[in-house]
Amino acid sequence: MPHIPTDIKEMEDRIIAMKAKKQDEQSKRKEKDLSQAAKAFQIAIEMVSGVFIGAAIGYILDELFDFQFICLLIFTIFGGFAGMLNTMRYLNQNKEEEGK
Amino acid sequence: MSGPMEQFEIKKLLPIEVNGFDISFTNSSLCMVISALAIVMVFLLCLRKRAIIPTTAQCIPESAYEFIHNLMLENMGKEGLKYFSFIFTLFLFVCTGNLLGLFPYSFTFTSHVAAVGTLSLLALLLNICVGIKRQKWGYLYTFFPKGTPLAMAPLIVPIEIISLLSKPLSLTIRLTANMTVGHIILKVIAGFIITISLVLGWLPLMFTGILIIFEIFIGILQAYVYTILSCIYLGDALHGH
């Protein structure tokens, strides 16, 4: 086996360590991107579900008490606010978890 | 060749009608029964010979148990462990349902709002019952947080009620959307194996294989997310908002 001078061997080790570190950083970035996408998806769901439930309650109340579309209108707006509230709570919770 | 949406069609296997209500036994019901039986069978088989030093088979249910146990401890604390059986059943049922849907000629019941929605409603009902049991009248503060001016009540109360009711819906949509999209993509890509040609067919075949592995991962991950969110909602009821 040919003799490898120590400084070249040291350099090789450093290159290998650097490559491993780079790969690790890349995989971490990918993981972070994926979790960000999942968070964005969750935010969208929170917003929409609030509006949907609000509209459903409004529609049921309109049907029950024959209010035409007044309840539908009011409760859809309330639903929008509820969606925003849920989104804010979700984001605050995430912020707290990231801070830990 | 069948379309990608055909796999979600509910077919009646045993038509039953009671007082005008259709309670037929469908392919969805069959898959739920198979899923429940599969869980019971796996647990019975793996825990047949119980030992202090566990065998490989015994490790499967034990790791699942420990996983959910730790998850509940982290999110709900020690007092949340009272509801372990519910959360554990929820996780196993959803996870098995997600994975069962990957088998050929099977049916993914977790891709249907009716099935997952019922589970989410159960979680909401438990949340309300636990909240009332623990906090008594104080539970009403969920809808009207302390320190809010009384004049704001007509605005805050309906918003908080909608906020509470929309939680199971967001849980349901998250799981069903993920399952539906995954299965549609799988079917579309698999369809290319035949439609492209015999020469290039290996490419979508390879891609389908990768997608199936990815779907297994997604199925387990979504069951985990569903369980953790249910734990958080239940934790809210236990500790107050």
Residue B42, pLDDT score: 92
CB contact under 8 A, B173 and A82: no
Residue B33, pLDDT score: 95
Half-sphere exposure of A98 (CA within 13 A, CB side): 10
Minimum-distance CB partner of A82 among B166, B173, B174: B166
Taking 90 as the threshold, does the pLDDT of residue A57 lie above it? yes
Confidence at A79, pLDDT banded by 50, 70, 90? very high
Taking 60 as the threshold, does the pLDDT of residue A68 lie above it? yes
Site from B163, B165, B178, B222 to mutate, A interface, most A CB atoms within 10 angstroms: B163
* Structure confidence by residue, pLDDT tens digits, A23-41: 777 666 655 665 777 788 8
Site from A53, A88, A92 to mutate, B interface, most B CB atoms within 10 angstroms: A53
Q: Where are the domains of chain B?
A: 6-239
Residue B174 burial (10 A CB sphere; 0-12, 13-18, 19+)? buried
Check: complex ipTM more than 0.85: no
* Structure confidence by residue, pLDDT tens digits, B142-176: 888 888 888 888 889 999 999 999 989 998 998 99
> What is the number of other CB atoms lying within 10 angstroms of the CB of residue B91?
22
- Compare A13 and B120 and report the one with higher pLDDT: B120
Taking 90 as the threshold, does the pLDDT of residue A76 lie above it? yes
Site from B159, B160, B164 to mutate, A interface, most A CB atoms within 10 angstroms: B159
Residue B139, pLDDT score: 81
Q: What is the mean pLDDT of chain A?
A: 82
Task: Please state, in angstroms and rounded to a whole number, the distance separating the CA atoms of residues B4 and B133.
Answer: 46
Residue B99, pLDDT score: 93
Residue A51, pLDDT score: 92
Question: For residue B102, what is the DSSP state?
Answer: T
How is residue B29 written in tokens?
């019901």
Minimum-distance CB partner of A49 among B155, B158, B169: B169
Confidence at A3, pLDDT banded by 50, 70, 90? low
Residue B1, pLDDT score: 58
Q: Among all chains, which residue has been given the structure tokens 């469908």?
A: B26
Regions in chain B scoring below 50 on pLDDT = none
CB contact under 8 A, A53 and B174: no
Residue B88, pLDDT score: 93
Q: Where are the domains of chain A?
A: 40-100
Chain B residue whose CA is closest to A84: B163
Residue A33, pLDDT score: 60
A-B CB pairs within 8 A amount to 50
One-letter amino acid at A32 equals K
Residue A29, pLDDT score: 63
Residue A58, pLDDT score: 93
